[in-house]
Amino acid sequence: MCGRYSITSPVAALRRVFAFEGPLPNLGPSYNVAPTRAVPIIIADEGARRLTFARWGLVPSWAKEIAAPPLINARAETVADKPAFRSAFKRRHCLVPADGFFEWQAQPSGPKQPYNIVVGEGGPFGMAGIWETWMAPDGGELVSMAIITTKASARLAPIHDRMPVVVLPADYALWLDPKERAREDAEDIFARAQHVDFRPYRVSRRVNAVANDDPDVIAPEGQSQLPL
């Protein structure tokens, strides 16, 4: 699964990677992004890419209320068929910018060991997402999203059995295409995620607490400047 991630690159760096149009929003670093937060996503809007914000935890358009726990992940194997996700999967894809994501490795005894997982030499990458608009009973609109996960790559399997689908830059346009797409295109994108150059490293258990949102959260274990 993907239950926490970080987005720390300046918004100008995100524009260089994702080539979105429009004004640059005020976007500070987030080292410990948790579900239900409003997070930046990249969507296709009338032929152009645009950065907007969505609640992490998809609310289907037909839902009568916001469910708990939030629908933060959609499995690649079933996203096309699950009632909560299938409409968004057909028509509303997004990229979720991140600089790393966290997974927790079970230990023979004691608490799980968290890892921060970056791509290549670091820097922003795009996770595959789907988004939806929900109309609240009071008439307000809520844009929400879920991150698509898949079977862990060989590099990450010793840490956790699932991982987010990281979309290769060459596939950004295909993934964001607002036209209703063939399922085979998405399956190819999901399969290529297995070959991403993931680089995991241990971090402190400070990441377990949502309130901890500072650079030490992503520091390699043992290099933190704050008490654990």
CA distances from 222 to 101, 103, 135, 204, 227 (A): 19, 18, 46, 8, 10
Calpha distance 228→211 (Å, rounded): 13
Q: Is 94 a catalytic residue?
A: no
Structure-token pair, residue 177: 């295409």
Listed in sequence order, the DSSP H helices in the chain are 11-18, 86-91, 172-176, 183-192
The active-site residue, picked from 2, 21, 180, 187, is 2
Q: Which residues pair with 199 in a beta bridge?
A: 118
The active-site residue, picked from 21, 46, 103, 180, is 103
Report phi then psi at 179, rounded to 5. -70, 150
Q: What is the largest CA-CA distance in the chain?
A: 53
Q: Which residues are marked as active site?
A: 2, 103
